[in-house]
Amino acid sequence: MKNFNSIKKNSEFQNVYKYGKSYANRNLVMYVNKNKRKTSRIGISVSKKVGNSVVRHRLTRLLRECYRLNENRLKECVDIVVVVRVNAADIQYEEMLSSFLHLCRLHDIIETMV
């Protein structure tokens, strides 16, 4: 498996929460902050309120796949933190992808396909 660019440390999450801009839809909340790295990174937060560990890990895998498939379309190097809402507990991949891309367009960090 390829090494994945992710935010791991609590201080990095807190930095994005504090200085980043946020938008939300019914399934996700996305915080975005520019970074000084050469690549974009993603951090995923799924609360225990969303479901048990199987549900939380499934949602994490879905989000990671949404990011992986669209990583090359990102306009700039940014840190992204995605918080999964309780409504997303039983959604499928297509709806997760739609929610993720919607928030990326709101943040204007993704190239639109023409």
Instruction: Enter the pTM of the model.
Output: 0.92
Q: Domain 10-107 class?
A: alpha beta
Q: 31-46, pLDDT tens digit by residue? A: 999 999 888 999 999 9
Distance CA 11, CA 61 (A): 23
- Low-confidence spans in the chain with pLDDT less than 70: 1-2, 113-114
Domain spans of the chain?
10-107
Q: Where does residue 62 fall: left (phi above 0), alpha (psi -120 to 50 degrees), or beta otherwise?
A: alpha
